[in-house]
Amino acid sequence: MSLAFSPEVESALHEQRPIVALESTVISHGLPYPANLEAASAMQEAIRREGAVPATIGILDGKIKIGLTDEEISRLATEKPVQKVSRRDLAVTLATKRLGATTVAGTMLCASMAGIRFFATGGIGGVHRGATTSLDISADLMELSRTPVLVVCAGAKSILDLDLTLEYLETQGVPVIGWQTDELPAFYVRRSGRRLPHRAESIEIVADIARTQWECGLQGLVVTCPIPEQWSMEAEPLEAAIEEALVLAREQAVKGAAITPFILDHVARVTGGESVEANKALLEHNAIWAARFACAYYLSRGKGDEIADAS
């Protein structure tokens, strides 16, 4: 097994304490320097404050590292090139010993291999606009249908086709649960106008849903947390910036894995950095709730074990 653990994560796994996985492409590709380091640090500290253990995941020296050190995170934030690692890229990146940052799909896969069930990210990937002809669909959606990890996010990135993303998740049997909301959040924007099939009001209910999901032999699930109100962006100017970025991407033949960072970078420039600050805020917010869900899951699981032992 190509897994290497930090002492903190290894101890938490041994003691069956709550752990929250974190992706690393947000560090290498998602945010500019030094905002990427600030976001990584804020997420880890938020998880620790809630009583859980953060496990940022990346690929270093032919190993899947579960729990990156500050120095390793700094490498991903500053060195070039860094391979974006989804399921299809994992074996190649490990065998060639390239420096790799895990996507949502890649992080889910590696977290599951390590026995970690909770994961906080910004926004999941999805069905891209124009996918009816391009077939550009993020591997995140398929990974959710095959990997037993709960993903806490601010919905899907607003650069995507949100209607088709929800349809695809439904087809794959992936539960999408609104955390105290009936609508799918749209990353920088609290509301998208797309109604969700399920809503949860308490941390304990989320933990119970996750446990039942996995007891039934089912796989991934999504809990969507709207960006905090004070950081939410206006939908119309944001949409205009996205449409402009999509036109530029077509003109410059930007495709595949490069298109999302291209669009996010353009939006950051157009909004004068407002989108970067919003991204950092929603990342930390999602980390807080993921830690709370993980703690509730492990607390109730422990009670259940005690009851079983007593009987």
The annotated binding site for substrate is made up of 84, 104, 138-140
Token pair 């974006």 is found at 84
Amino acid (one-letter) located at 47: I
Contact 280, 35 (CB under 8 A): yes
Q: Is 214 left (phi over 0), alpha (psi -120 to 50) or beta?
A: alpha
Residues 6+ apart with CB under 8 A from 257: 84
Rounded Cα distance, 211 and 195, in Å: 24
Token pair 């500019």 is found at 32
Has 280 been annotated as catalytic? no
Of 23, 50, 72, 143, which is the active-site residue? Answer: 23
Of 72, 143, 157, 284, which is the active-site residue? Answer: 157
Rounded Cα distance, 157 and 189, in Å: 10
Q: Crossing angle for the helix pair 235-251 and 259-270, nearest 10 degrees?
A: 130
Residue 1: count of CB within 10 angstroms of its CB: 7
Q: Is 274 left (phi over 0), alpha (psi -120 to 50) or beta?
A: alpha
Residue 267: count of CB within 10 angstroms of its CB: 25
CA-based end-to-end distance of the chain: 37
Rounded Cα distance, 302 and 193, in Å: 39
Has 23 been annotated as catalytic? yes
Three-state DSSP at 216 gives coil
* Residue 172 Cα to chain centre, angstroms: 18
Residue of 293, 120, 116 lying closest to 204 (CA atoms): 293
| Catalytic residue ranges | 23, 157
